[in-house]
């Protein structure tokens, strides 16, 4: 950091108070500027030393903060690592995944669970009866105008390679239309059963011959919802063409007056008032219900021409509609009460548990399963030993990465023979913590954790060890550890997976204690923060140095100004002497 930036931080300027333009040596012939510059270089040595010390403190502070970041990284890792659900994963295998899906937590006992899903959770549903007037065989084609305005139409029947035109008039009744279609089949040398389902309001055509209906003119196929219908073969040599939806269905843009409702009023759903007017559209009514009811969703079923009220929550939710206009069909509607899901779970030991849920999701001792269909299946829960081994291996790698970093910081030297402007940020702070007493204390504390007992057991019993001789001894000095996978498997086999978790994740376990120690080091106003934080010891020393440097800058500014004044006075005196000498020489020359 240069002097000016330090001085500016405490409201000083690193600029001289001497005149902006200075000319030295005019009379004396001396290089005044160079002389003053050399003199100031000597005078500024104390300031240079302060600046070097300031830079060293700044880099040391950054080095400490880098260490804090590395330790915090290990702490965050240990927080997740020590969780029982992460360290001791369990697998749940379902024999029939069409019945349910399942997951097991670390608290689930290994074994096989027989689960019978007796019922699924369902939502309560209130279906209105059909909207509008009944459609019968005597209804005119022209009156089926809820979605389209019926037009005189020509429909082409193709059967047995014969084409027959069917002329349909808007004045025809549904019964007339059935007769015309049936006669067309006869004309083509075929036969068909043509009927109208007045319960579902659908036209049905059945024949033993493959046939096709196509629109030549008009819109009959659209009014009777045959335009998107497919010819269906039943496997017995019969073919059926049927309306895809109720021919009396309405566009939701139709007004309530078109359903036969006059005036305005209100009705209640579960005690909540719903207002309406004859000028409201069906869409307006649906929106009004949804805006006023939090636990029920309303929709219009255009396939069946009904208003559907559905409970948002599964289970036995009551839906009660009162005082609604008869044209909406609620007074003759059908209510179906929702069910809660029911499952029976049996353990290996023969114990049986009845479980109930209104979401189709169940929980038993850490075993979570979601029912998909009714039936019986087995769920096998096993400890995933391979995953435990991988988790511990990851821990060993993370530990070694951290201790490597600390050991390197304790032993590395500063970068030499390289200009500071060419250094990376990491290179600039390199070597500033070499043999640092505080960092040595932290490093030794980390190594000591490797040799302590946790719940009466040691790391080496789990197959985690550091070397004792040769390369192993060097690893010990670095705080390195290694994992013997076979020994860890043997430990799990003899002591169970719970012993592994207790060693690491228990309140007094290895990972928990190390995590707590790292927290004390890296927290706000923790040990490292008290050294290298914004209010730490190093920052206080830097502020003191900055003030000293600012004072030195002021002193040097005054010295530089004094030197210029003295040299200027000397130049002025020499100039006067030169003038006097010239005068004397001129006077003598005249005599």
**Residue 278 belongs to domain with CATH number:** 3.30.70
**Same domain membership, residue 231 and residue 362:** no
**Same domain membership, residue 464 and residue 513:** yes
Is 457 within the bounds of a domain?
Answer: yes
326-384 pLDDT tens trace: 999 999 999 999 999 999 999 999 999 999 999 999 999 989 999 999 999 999 998 88
Is 471 within the bounds of a domain?
Answer: yes
What is the rounded distance in angstroms from the CA atom of residue 432 to the CA atom of residue 53? 12
* pLDDT for residue 28: 56
Averaged over 147-173, what is the pLDDT?
96
Strand order in the sheet with 321-322: 272-277, 264-269, 321-322
29 contact partners, CB below 8 Å, separation of at least 6:
none
Q: How far is CA 88 from CA 108, 156, 498, in A?
A: 11, 71, 8
**Same domain membership, residue 490 and residue 456:** yes
Domain boundary among 189, 208, 242: 242
Is it the case that residue 123 has pLDDT exceeding 60? yes
What is the rounded distance in angstroms from the CA atom of residue 465 to the CA atom of residue 361? 44
Is it the case that residue 587 has pLDDT exceeding 80? no
Domain boundary among 207, 242, 277: 242
Is 48 within the bounds of a domain?
Answer: no
- Cβ count within 10 A of residue 394: 12
Mean of all residue pLDDT scores within the chain: 88
What is the rounded distance in angstroms from the CA atom of residue 558 to the CA atom of residue 319? 92
Averaged over 437-465, what is the pLDDT?
92
Binning pLDDT at 50, 70 and 90, where does residue 17 land?
Answer: very low
- Cβ count within 10 A of residue 445: 12
DSSP string covering 67-82: HHHHHHHHHHHHHHHT
Averaged over 41-54, what is the pLDDT?
84
**Same domain membership, residue 260 and residue 192:** no
101-112 pLDDT tens trace: 999 987 788 899
515-532 pLDDT tens trace: 999 999 999 999 999 998
For residue 567, what are its two tokens? 């040299």
Length of the chain: 591
260-269 pLDDT tens trace: 999 999 999 9
**Same domain membership, residue 375 and residue 302:** no
Q: Identify which of 586, 60, 578, 126 has the alpha carbon closest to the alpha carbon of residue 328.
A: 126
DSSP string covering 150-177: ---EEEEEEETTEEEEEEE-TT-BHHHH
**Same domain membership, residue 494 and residue 395:** yes
Look up tokens 């007339």; give the residue: 176
**Same domain membership, residue 481 and residue 496:** yes
213-232 pLDDT tens trace: 999 999 999 999 999 999 99
201 contact partners, CB below 8 Å, separation of at least 6:
130, 135, 243, 246, 247, 248, 305
Is 357 within the bounds of a domain?
Answer: yes
Q: Identify which of 389, 524, 503, 410 has the alpha carbon closest to the alpha carbon of residue 449.
A: 503
**Same domain membership, residue 439 and residue 312:** no
**Same domain membership, residue 423 and residue 394:** yes
Contact between 395 and 449 (Cβ < 8 Å): no
Contact between 131 and 306 (Cβ < 8 Å): yes
3-state SS of 364-397 is ECCEEEEECCCEEEEEEEEECHHHHHHHHHHHHH
- Of 475 and 466, the one with more pLDDT: 466
157 contact partners, CB below 8 Å, separation of at least 6:
163, 164, 165, 166, 181, 184, 185, 188, 211, 212, 213
Is 164 within the bounds of a domain?
Answer: yes
Binning pLDDT at 50, 70 and 90, where does residue 588 land?
Answer: confident
- Is residue 430 left, alpha or beta, with left meaning phi > 0 and alpha meaning psi from -120 to 50? beta
Is 310 within the bounds of a domain?
Answer: yes
Is it the case that residue 113 has pLDDT exceeding 70? yes
What is the rounded distance in angstroms from the CA atom of residue 115 to the CA atom of residue 133? 50
Q: How many domains does the chain have?
A: 4
Averaged over 537-545, what is the pLDDT?
87
Averaged over 134-158, what is the pLDDT?
96
Which contiguous run of DSSP H or E holds residue 320?
none
**Same domain membership, residue 78 and residue 107:** no
542-559 pLDDT tens trace: 888 888 888 888 888 888
What is the rounded distance in angstroms from the CA atom of residue 485 to the CA atom of residue 338? 53
- Of 265 and 495, the one with more pLDDT: 265
Contact between 53 and 483 (Cβ < 8 Å): no
Averaged over 172-190, what is the pLDDT?
97
* pLDDT for residue 542: 86
Is 566 within the bounds of a domain?
Answer: no
**Same domain membership, residue 530 and residue 426:** yes
Is it the case that residue 244 has pLDDT exceeding 90? yes
**Same domain membership, residue 168 and residue 224:** yes
Is 547 within the bounds of a domain?
Answer: no
- Of 18 and 584, the one with more pLDDT: 584
Domain boundary among 212, 242, 272: 242
**What's the domain range around 101?**
90-121+340-383
* pLDDT for residue 440: 95
């Amino acid at each position: 950091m240069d002097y000016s930036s330090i001085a500016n931080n405490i409201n000083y300027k690193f600029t001289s108070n001497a005149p902006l333009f200075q000319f030295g040596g005019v009379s004396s012939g001396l290089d005044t500027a160079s002389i003053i510059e050399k003199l100031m270089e000597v005078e500024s040595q104390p300031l240079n030393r302060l600046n070097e010390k300031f830079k060293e403190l700044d880099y040391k502070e950054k080095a400490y903060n880098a260490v804090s970041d590395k330790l915090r990284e290990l702490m965050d890792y240990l927080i997740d690592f020590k969780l029982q659900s992460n360290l001791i994963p369990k697998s749940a295998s379902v024999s029939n995944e069409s019945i349910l899906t399942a997951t097991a937590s670390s608290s689930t006992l290994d074994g096989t669970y027989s689960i019978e899903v007796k019922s699924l959770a369902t939502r309560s549903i209130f279906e209105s009866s059909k909207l509008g007037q009944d459609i019968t065989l005597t209804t005119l084609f022209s009156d089926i105008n809820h979605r389209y305005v019926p037009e005189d139409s020509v429909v082409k029947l193709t059967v047995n390679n014969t084409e027959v035109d069917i002329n349909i008039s808007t004045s025809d009744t549904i019964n007339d239309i059935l007769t015309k279609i049936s006669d067309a089949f006869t004309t083509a040398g075929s036969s068909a059963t043509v009927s109208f389902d007045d319960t579902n309001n659908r036209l049905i055509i059945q024949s033993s011959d493959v046939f096709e209906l196509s629109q030549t003119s008009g819109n009959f196929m659209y009014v009777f919802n045959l335009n998107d219908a497919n010819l269906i073969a039943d496997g017995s040599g019969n073919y059926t063409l049927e309306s895809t939806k109720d021919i009396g269905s309405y566009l939701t843009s139709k007004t309530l007056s078109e359903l036969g409702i006059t005036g305005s009023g209100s009705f209640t759903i579960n005690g909540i008032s719903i207002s309406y007017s004859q000028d409201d559209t069906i869409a307006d009514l649906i929106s009004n219900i949804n805006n006023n009811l939090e636990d029920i969703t309303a929709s219009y079923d255009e396939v069946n021409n009904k208003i559907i009220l559905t409970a948002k929550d599964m289970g036995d939710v009551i839906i009660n509609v009162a005082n609604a206009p008869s044209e909406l069909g609620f007074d003759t509607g059908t209510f179906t009460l929702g069910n809660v899901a029911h499952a029976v779970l049996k353990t290996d030991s023969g114990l049986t548990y009845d479980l109930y849920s209104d979401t189709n999701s169940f929980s038993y001792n850490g075993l979570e399963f979601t029912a998909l269909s009714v039936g019986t299946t087995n769920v096998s829960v096993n400890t995933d030993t391979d995953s435990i081994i991988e988790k511990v291996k990851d821990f060993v790698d993370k530990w070694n990465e951290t201790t490597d970093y600390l050991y390197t910081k304790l032993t590395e030297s500063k970068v030499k023979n390289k200009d500071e402007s060419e250094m990376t940020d990491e290179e600039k702070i390199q070597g500033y913590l070499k043999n640092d007493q505080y960092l040595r204390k932290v490093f030794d504390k980390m190594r000591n954790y490797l040799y302590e007992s946790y719940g009466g057991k040691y790391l080496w019993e789990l197959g985690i060890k550091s070397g004792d001789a040769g390369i192993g001894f060097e690893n010990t000095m670095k705080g390195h550890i290694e994992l013997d996978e076979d020994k860890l498997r043997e430990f799990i086999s003899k002591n169970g997976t719970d012993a592994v978790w207790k060693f690491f994740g228990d309140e007094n376990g290895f990972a928990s204690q190390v995590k707590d120690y790292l927290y004390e080091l890296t927290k706000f106003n923790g040990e490292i923060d008290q050294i290298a934080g914004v209010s730490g010891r190093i920052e206080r020393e830097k502020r003191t140095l900055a003030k000293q440097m600012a004072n030195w800058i002021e002193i040097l500014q005054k010295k530089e100004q004094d030197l210029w004044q003295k040299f200027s006075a000397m130049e002025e005196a020499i100039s006067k002497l030169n003038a006097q000498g010239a005068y004397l020489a001129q006077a003598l020359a005249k005599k």
